């Protein structure tokens, strides 16, 4: 039975899973759960994931949520090339560390953008309290500085922690960075303008993953337009 | 060389790592990093972990941070019994899913308890008002509810996702619940009173881990008293 992936390419963890599948010829069927139409809140989807979060996979009846867990599971069960999620215990621990760190740090990028831009642009929801937005913003800024200063070591290799080849952590992180394109350009510039290592890493990654990167991001420009229109209309 | 664990008993991810070591007779030396005096933010510790977070391990020169990455690494390098972090690909994916879920959900217990009680007691941070506490409180309550409703299946087995024996996810999740003991009695009752499955699960774990549980919580009564005193003196 073909692997089913419940998701929406507007969500960055779903894109990361799609990229892993495309790059490794893992066949899958994408079942669109539209975030814009709030289909993740419908009873049909809640029967699959009561927590209403995307992505979720169904691998012959085995249901698994949480993007990082999905990436690990697919890498191991489909025997993808070792660099994606290395067998060597210490190398694997380093990738696990990056993925765990991601959860409470880089992932705040999405929390910030969701609260600041998407709530109103997509769903006409009230803007959350300023303090909440600021707290996510603070974590996002600090996390991106940490990536630039400590997690990228271009003198060793082009990928996270100076690896010579990319891992599932690089893909998950990078999809989160793409999300910053939803911010006003002045804010994007402030976030990434003075981060040469980060820019270079993202470029290398995009090149290594072409054309899968582009394929996974094919519906993303629509979202950018939608958010920009909403921003200019307000 | 003996495994070094940098940490503090007041940090619940540290205690989860210590529990795994104690329960499996993994030799370790606890290198205390006093969070109450801010030792984790000093240059000495920042040289080991620039994020200033505990726990960190030093395994003969291999430095690893992020508690969940540490738990996975110790489980696989020390060949602990399979139930802690199963080799079976699907069983392992379920544990990975729980650990990822923990980060962005149950970990809000710490965020809330630190804001409300530990910050004002130990670091003289002004007591936040209700509105400031609301986001973390909401996420904490929702997570505690998900655990009760969806993650515990006592009809299948006493541990998370109905497992017959505990995993590293049980360790990290249960240590987070220990933090609720810093809250006023009525708030503890509100969180756990109507959650019989959760109570039973915590009891089962305490029974399984016996004296190791008392060992990691040996400083708790003293800390609880400090927090209660600070609260009553306003």
3-class SS letters over A17-71? HHHHHHHCCCCEEEEECCCCCCHHHCHHHHCCCCCCCCCEEEECCEEEECHHHHH
φ, ψ dihedrals at B233, nearest 5°: -90, 5
Residue B234 has a pLDDT of 67
Instruction: Indicate if the pLDDT at residue B163 is higher than 60.
Output: yes
Query: What average pLDDT does the segment B110-133 reach?
Result: 92
Give dist(CA B85, CA B99) in Å, integer.
11
Nearest 10 degrees: Cα torsion A79, A85, A86, A90: -150
> Is the Cα torsion angle B22, B28, B34, B39 positive or negative in sign?
negative
Instruction: Indicate if the pLDDT at residue A234 is higher than 60.
Output: no
Query: Which residue from A38, A13, A182, A172 is spatially nearest to A114, judged by alpha carbons?
Result: A182
Task: CATH 1.20.1050.10 in chain B: give the residue spans.
Answer: 85-232
Instruction: Indicate if the pLDDT at residue B186 is higher than 90.
Output: yes
The answer to whether the Cβ–Cβ distance between B89 and A73 falls below 8 Å is: yes
Q: What is the pLDDT of residues B26-70, one digit of tens each?
A: 999 999 999 999 999 999 999 999 999 999 999 999 999 999 999
Instruction: Indicate if the pLDDT at residue A134 is higher than 60.
Output: yes
| A115 CB within 8 Å of a chain B CB | no
A140 alpha-carbon distance from chain centroid? 14
Instruction: Indicate if the pLDDT at residue B145 is higher than 90.
Output: yes
Q: A214: pLDDT confidence band, cut at 50, 70 and 90?
A: very high
The two structure tokens encoding residue A175: 């999809």
Q: What is the pLDDT of residues A151-206, one digit of tens each?
A: 999 999 999 999 999 999 999 999 999 999 999 999 999 999 999 999 999 999 99
Neighbours of B4 (CB within 10 A): 17
Residues linked to residue A56 through DSSP beta bridges, in sequence order = A6, A65
Neighboring chain B residues of A70 at a CB cutoff of 8 Å: 93
Give dist(CA A53, CA A41) in Å, integer.
9
Give dist(CA B71, CA A185) in Å, integer.
41
Give the gap in angstroms from C-alpha A148 to the nearest C-alpha of chain B. 13
Of A177-186, B97-106, B123-132, the range with the lowest mean pLDDT is B123-132
| B150 CB within 8 Å of a chain A CB | yes
Say whether B116 sits in a helix, a strand or coil. Answer: helix
Of A69, A89, A97, the CB nearest to B65: A97
Query: What average pLDDT does the segment A62-81 reach?
Result: 97
Task: CATH 3.40.30.10 in chain B: give the residue spans.
Answer: 3-82
B16 alpha-carbon distance from chain centroid? 6
Give dist(CA A205, CA A199) in Å, integer.
10
The two structure tokens encoding residue A206: 């995009």
CATH node for B85-232:
1.20.1050.10
Predicted-complex ipTM score: 0.94
Instruction: Indicate if the pLDDT at residue B16 is higher than 70.
Output: yes
Query: Which residue from A72, A56, A53, A54 is spatially nearest to A64, judged by alpha carbons?
Result: A56
Neighboring chain A residues of B90 at a CB cutoff of 8 Å: 62, 73
Domains of chain A from N-terminus onward: 3-81 (3.40.30.10), 83-233 (1.20.1050.10)
Instruction: Indicate if the pLDDT at residue B169 is higher than 70.
Output: yes
CATH classification of B3-82, choosing from 3.40.50.150, 3.40.47.10, 3.40.30.10, 3.40.50.9100? 3.40.30.10
- Provide the terminal-to-terminal Cα distance of chain B, rounded to the nearest Å: 47
Of A90, A96, A132, the CB nearest to B62: A90
Q: What is the pLDDT of residues B78-89, one digit of tens each?
A: 999 999 999 999
Give dist(CA A122, CA A8) in Å, integer.
14
Query: What average pLDDT does the segment B134-146 reach?
Result: 93
Instruction: Indicate if the pLDDT at residue A17 is higher than 70.
Output: yes
Residue B160 has a pLDDT of 98
Which of A52, A91, A99, A100 should one mutate to test binding to chain B, selecting the residue with the greatest count of B CBs within 10 A?
A100
Residue B178 has a pLDDT of 95
Of A113-127, B43-57, B166-180, the range with the lowest mean pLDDT is A113-127
The answer for residues whose C-beta is within 8 angstroms of residue B140's C-beta and 6 or more apart is B106, B108, B109, B111, B112, B191
Q: What is the pTM of this model?
A: 0.95
Q: What is the pLDDT of residues B216-231, one digit of tens each?
A: 999 999 999 999 999 9
Query: What average pLDDT does the segment A38-45 reach?
Result: 90
**Residue pointed to by tokens 């090149």:** A207
Task: Tell me what the pLDDT averaged over chain B comes to.
Answer: 95
């Amino acid at each position: 039975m073909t692997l089913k992936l419940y998701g929406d390419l507007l969500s960055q963890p779903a894109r990361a899973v799609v990229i892993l599948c495309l790059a490794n010829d893992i066949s899958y069927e994408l079942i669109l759960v539209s975030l814009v139409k709030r289909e993740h809140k419908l009873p049909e989807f809640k029967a699959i994931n009561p927590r209403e979060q995307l992505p979720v996979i169904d691998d012959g009846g085995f249901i698994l949520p949480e993007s990082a867990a999905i990436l690990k599971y697919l890498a191991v069960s489909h025997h993808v090339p070792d660099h994606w999620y290395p067998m060597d215990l210490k190398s694997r621990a380093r990738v696990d560390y990056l993925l765990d760190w991601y959860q409470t740090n880089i992932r705040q990028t999405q929390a910030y953008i969701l609260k600041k831009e998407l709530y109103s642009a997509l769903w006409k929801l009230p803007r959350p309290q300023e303090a909440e937005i600021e707290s996510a913003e603070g974590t996002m800024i600090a996390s991106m500085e940490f990536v630039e200063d400590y997690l990228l070591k271009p003198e060793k290799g082009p990928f996270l922690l100076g690896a010579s080849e990319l891992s599932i952590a690089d893909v998950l992180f990078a999809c989160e960075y793409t999300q910053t394109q939803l911010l006003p350009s002045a804010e994007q510039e402030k976030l990434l303008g003075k981060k040469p290592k980060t820019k270079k890493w993202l470029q290398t990654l995009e090149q290594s993953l072409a054309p899968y990167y582009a394929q996974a991001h094919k519906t993303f420009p629509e979202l950018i337009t939608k958010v920009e229109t909403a921003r200019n209309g307000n | 060389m003996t495994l070094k664990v940098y940490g503090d008993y007041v940090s619940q991810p540290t205690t989860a790592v210590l529990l795994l070591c104690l329960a499996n007779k993994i030799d370790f030396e606890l290198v205390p990093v006093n969070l109450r005096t801010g030792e984790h933010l000093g240059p000495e510790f920042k040289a080991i972990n620039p994020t200033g977070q505990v726990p960190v391990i030093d395994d003969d020169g291999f430095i690893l941070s992020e508690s969940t990455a540490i738990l996975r690494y110790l489980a696989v390098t020390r060949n602990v019994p399979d139930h802690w972090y199963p080799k079976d690909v699907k069983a392992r994916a379920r544990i990975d899913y729980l650990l990822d879920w923990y980060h962005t959900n149950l970990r809000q217990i710490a965020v809330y308890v630190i804001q409300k009680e530990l910050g004002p007691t130990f670091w003289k941070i002004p007591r936040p008002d209700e509105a400031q506490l609301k986001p973390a409180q909401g996420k904490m309550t929702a997570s505690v509810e998900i655990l009760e409703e969806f993650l515990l299946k006592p009809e299948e087995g006493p541990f998370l996702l109905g497992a017959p024996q505990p995993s590293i996810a049980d360790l990290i999740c249960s240590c987070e619940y220990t933090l609720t003991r810093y809250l006023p009695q009525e708030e503890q009752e509100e969180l756990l009173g109507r959650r019989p499955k959760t109570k039973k699960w915590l009891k089962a774990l305490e029974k399984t881990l016996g004296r190791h549980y008392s060992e990691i919580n040996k400083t708790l009564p003293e800390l609880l008293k400090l927090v209660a005193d600070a609260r009553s003196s306003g």
